[in-house]
Amino acid sequence: MKTTLSVIKADIGSIGGHLRPSESLMEAVREYIEANKGKMVIDYRISNTGDDIAILFSHREGVGNSALHELAWDAFVAGTAQAKKEGLYGAGQDLLKDSFSGNIKGLGPAVAEMEFEERENEPFIFFAADKTDPGAYNLPLYLAFTDPMHCSGLILSPKMSDGFKFVIMDVEYTEADRYIELNAPEEIYDIAALLRDNERFVVSKIYSRDSGEQAVAASTTRLHNIAGKYIGKDDPVMLVRVQGSFPAAGEILSPYNIGHYVAGFMRGSHTGPLMPVKTGCGISFFDGPPIVTATAFCVQNGILTEPVDCFDHPYWDHVRTEVARKATELRRQGFSGAAMLPYSELEYGGIVEKMKKLDDKFKI
């Protein structure tokens, strides 16, 4: 029987601005799921990454299941009531529609789902990032699945020598899913040519070419593109199955020691390095820096083990210091050049209005 993992996350309010949800808000979401999970949900975990709350479900209903999406939506609605009661900032901010309609995608929350036949042992890692957008996973995925500098299994393991198939979404196209399938290693230059543009092309799935099995499912929605105006960055979630014919857990984590620069940070309008942090970490410096959490599990007959917090290890303390240095360095140039995102990515619309006014004052 197949197992489905679904992670659905939303920002429904936090303390002190966009920093971290309250304990009681997390508890309200948990209570709702506990009381309403019925027979559909086999197991679940609730966590926060910055101001976002993620619900990780395991179940047997397949991807895009309306009843499961509705359960998550209703849990976020219940959480929003609690957030309002406490006076949390931005209560219900990611619930963009008044009511649920079939599929939670496009309604505000981010979704990553994968259905598979469980292997004898089924280890996987759940990633969540805050103050950034789905393109933040492009480089780490490219490196973990195509580059032996990070994934030694590509040269050491016969199960990986066939490489991986990437499914890449054009997130600027909003009428439907517009995607391309490319094979690594033969087409890595084409993959790189697309993935360099984090704001337009985003990895949505990766498959092993040896087993045909799906390794990765990532959220790709860019509400900015759908709504055409500021509605915050789409802090992305991702599921990655590891080991065997997939990269090892440590190979998947390896590229996060770069602290590569991503879009997001203050007002969703700046460039900042992605800092690997412990689950439950809040947001601080300059409403950032952009953060990513990684939580590992095994799943058996749909039952999840206790979580292992992958970035809660002395090695990553060293990385965090380096990433903080990168953040400080770029912040030193404030609004100038590379520190702020290009015109098309600036949130809030303030610059657009300013430019219009200034345009009239220009003389020739």
When CB distances are held under 5 to 8 angstroms depending on the partner's kind, the choice from Mg ion, ligand F6R, none that residue 255 binds is none
266 is a site residue for ligand F6R (CB under 6 A): yes
Work out whether 9 is an interface residue with ligand F6R (CB under 6 A). Answer: no
Q: How many residues bind ligand F6R (CB under 6 A)?
A: 8
Structure tokens at 93: 């901010």
SS (H, E, C) the chain: CEEEEEEEEECCCEECCCCECCHHHHHHHHHHHHHHCCCCEEEEEEEEECCEEEEEEEECCCCCCHHHHHHHHHHHHHHHHHHHHHCCECCCCCCCCCCCCCCCCCCCCEEEEEEEECCCCCEEEEEEEECCCHHHHHHHHHHHHHCCCCCCHHHHCHHHCCCEEEEEEECCCCCCCCEEEEEECCCHHHHHHHHCCCCCEEEEEEEECCCCCEEEEECCCCHHHHHCCCCCCCCCEEEEECCCCCCCHHHHHHHHHCCCEEEECHHHCEEEECEECCCCCCCCHHHCCCEEEEEEEEEECCEECCCEECCCCHHHHHHHHHHHHHHHHHHCCCCCHHHECCHHHCCCCHHHHHHHHHHHHCCC
The minimum distance between CB 267 and ligand F6R, in angstroms, equals 4
Stretch of 153-161, 263-271, 298-306, 330-338 lying at the interface with ligand F6R (CB under 6 A): 263-271
Question: Per residue in 219-245, is it b (16+ CB within 10 Å) or e — as a string?
Answer: bbbbbbeeeeebbbbbbbbbbbbbbbb
The contact mask relative to Mg ion for 224-263 (x = CB under 5 A, - = no) is -----------x----------------------------
How many Cβ atoms are within 10 Å of 197's Cβ, its own excluded?
14
Looking at the Cβ atoms of 222 and 267, the one nearer to ligand F6R is 267
Nearer to Mg ion (CB atom), residue 89 or residue 179: 89
Question: How far is the C-alpha of 131 from the C-alpha of 220, rounded, in Å?
Answer: 15
Residues annotated as catalytic (active site), given as ranges: 11, 230, 233
Span from 140-148, 173-181, 252-260, 261-269 in contact with ligand F6R (CB under 6 A): 261-269
- Select the residue interacting with ligand F6R from 20, 45, 59, 131 (CB under 6 A): 131
Residue closest to ligand F6R, measured at CB: 287
Among 5, 9, 18, 217, binds Mg ion (CB under 5 A): 18
**Residue 266, contacted partner among ligand F6R, Mg ion, none, CB below 5-8 A by kind:** ligand F6R
Q: Which is nearer to ligand F6R, 122 or 287 (CB)?
A: 287
Contact stretch for ligand F6R (CB under 6 A) within 96-104, 109-117, 217-225, 260-268: 260-268
Partner from Mg ion, ligand F6R, none contacting 52, C-beta within 5 to 8 A by type? Mg ion
- Measured from the CB atom, the residue of 208 and 293 that comes closer to Mg ion is 293
Q: How far is the CB of 71 from ligand F6R (least distance, A)?
A: 25
Q: What does the block give as tokens for 349?
A: 């619309």
Nearer to ligand F6R, 153 or 290 (CB): 290
Does 232 bind ligand F6R (CB under 6 A)? Our answer is yes
Of the ranges 69-77, 124-132, 178-186, 269-277, which one interacts with Mg ion (CB under 5 A)?
124-132
Q: Which of residues 45-84 bind Mg ion (CB under 5 A)?
A: 51-52
Tokens 């290009």 belong to: 342
User: Contacts with Mg ion: how many residues (CB under 5 A)?
Assistant: 6
Binding site for ligand F6R (CB under 6 A): 17-18, 131, 232, 266-268, 287
Tell me which residues touch Mg ion (CB under 5 A). Answer: 11, 18, 51-52, 130, 235
